Structure 1
Amino acid sequence: MPDSILVLAAHPDDEVLGCGGTIARHVAAGDQVHVAILAQGLYSRGEPTAEQVSGLHAAAERANGLLGVSSLSLFDYPDNSMDTVARLAVTQTIEQLVTEHRPRTVYSHWIGDVNIDHRRIHEAVVAACRPQPGHPVESLLFFEVASSTEWQPPGSAPAFQPNWFVDIAATLDTKLAALAAYQAELRDWPHPRSLRGVEHLARWRGSTIGCEAAEAFVLGRHLRPGV
């Protein structure tokens, strides 16, 4: 029976950087993948024009179309300023998405990222996915985002130490094609948020577990349901 999967990302491209290959695997397996991008993604660079906003939304639609997601929700929380938003508001937004999609698995950001939006969303996800009776979420998985997770100095926040890996050898090309849709967000090699940098990370994560390419996660919680 197909699963319902919910991916909660801060900015357009985070969903692809963090778990694009895994999303494509879920889709290939027949699962329904729902992606929600919570922050606007442009305000930290100055007041965006309508053309810039529509261009970024179009890029998100193209990227997630390539991944084959069932739905894409774009919100307008302030970019790189989610610490100015009441956590309850973000938590309630996520709770509404959980109620709508009834996901068994949720993917989102790691708490130790440099980016403040990533950290606030992580906290809201944990709050919204409290393991209460009847709650649909059985697995919480937190991904890494190149140019945020690895840039946190040791001791400044919890280190990303993955204990859950997904083999994406068959979907790495799809991940990279989806990432290429976010051309304005990419940087030149050797920046970690370049196509080459993202591929190197996937190859490295794969080599650590004996496969061609992988995405790495920290398992927050997994419930093995009763029979």
Structure 2
Amino acid sequence: MIETFGRVLVVAPHPDDEVLGCGGTIARLTATGIEVHVLVATVGKPPRYTADSVAQVQAEMRRAHAVLGVHETHLLDLPAAELDTVPASRINAAVGDVIAGVQPDTLFLPFFGDIHTDHQLIFTAAMVAARPRSTTAARRILCYETLSETNWYAPPVTPAFVPDIFIGISDTLERKIEAFRHFESQVRPFPDERSVEAIEALARLRGATAFLFAAEAFVNIRQIIQ
């Protein structure tokens, strides 16, 4: 089935979300020759973030993407952790322009129920751009989970991440971990969820759910079969 994904675009609100959510899947896709693009929607702005810290994270991101075999990284200039101050029309247009340019067959998006408002707004902007109004609309849309974002909201009263698609990453889990290690500014010691141990534990758990040695889990949003 994975060979049918066509051109892929992974939409990440911030650098490292794409690695946490589907780094193993990205590595598996690129290993089969599938073209994978990554859209990183936000960048840190002063005074919340210094120029040096932003440059460091972007350098870490590019090294991580090289490990995963990403075809092209698309960077937007939207303000990190401040998307709720930006008009929806501007966010929608920026995300929509990249989606229109890449014309992905498959979209990977952050989950709408994540606790971070940036994740929610980027999900919505991507769904606006992905409306099936032409033959170039994405045929498959999946939502990934992000440690410390997807599971920290309030599932009894907010959308719960209930995966129904599991992609095996037994052969690419180490590449996912290697890619995340390049985010030196983001890696935390266990038992923090942004730790290598937690990433591996989640992959093993999601794998065991489907009798696989390791997997990433997704929520199916839409599939269009002609």
Following TM superposition, by how much is the alpha carbon of 1:165 offset from its aligned partner in structure 2, in angstroms? 1.0
Corresponding residue number in structure 2 for 1:52: 53
* Aligned residues of 1:43 and 1:78 also touching (Cα < 8 A): yes
User: Equivalent residue of 1:161, what SS?
Assistant: coil
Residues in 2 aligned to 1:99 and 1:125: alpha-carbon distance in whole angstroms? 11
Following TM superposition, by how much is the alpha carbon of 1:197 offset from its aligned partner in structure 2, in angstroms? 0.3
User: Equivalent residue of 1:88, what SS?
Assistant: helix
Residues in 1 aligned to 2:133 and 2:166: alpha-carbon distance in whole angstroms? 27
Corresponding residue number in structure 1 for 2:135: 134
Corresponding residue number in structure 1 for 2:80: 79
Q: Which runs of 5+ in 1 are unaligned?
A: none
Following TM superposition, by how much is the alpha carbon of 1:216 offset from its aligned partner in structure 2, in angstroms? 0.4
Residues in 2 aligned to 1:17 and 1:173: alpha-carbon distance in whole angstroms? 13
Corresponding residue number in structure 2 for 1:10: 13
Corresponding residue number in structure 1 for 2:122: 121
Task: Identify which range, 11-20 or 92-101, moves more after superposition.
Answer: 92-101
What is the letter of the counterpart of residue 85 of structure 2?
A: T
Following TM superposition, by how much is the alpha carbon of 1:47 offset from its aligned partner in structure 2, in angstroms? 3.5
* Aligned residues of 2:41 and 2:95 also touching (Cα < 8 A): no
- Within a 5 Å distance, the mapping from 1:1-227 to structure 2 comes to 3-40=6-43, 42-43=44-45, 46-225=47-226
Following TM superposition, by how much is the alpha carbon of 1:43 offset from its aligned partner in structure 2, in angstroms? 4.4
Deviations 1:179-217 (A, max 9, x none): 001011111100111110010000000000000000001
Instruction: Using structure 1 for the length normalisation, give the TM-score.
Output: 0.94
Following TM superposition, by how much is the alpha carbon of 1:74 offset from its aligned partner in structure 2, in angstroms? 1.9
Moved over 6 A (4+): none
What is the letter of the counterpart of residue 131 of structure 2?
A: R
Deviations 1:116-163 (A, max 9, x none): 100001111111100113233000000000001111123331000001
* Aligned residues of 1:129 and 1:135 also touching (Cα < 8 A): no
Q: Which runs of 5+ in 2 are unaligned?
A: none
Instruction: Using structure 2 for the length normalisation, give the TM-score.
Output: 0.94
* Aligned residues of 1:104 and 1:138 also touching (Cα < 8 A): yes
RMSD: 1.5
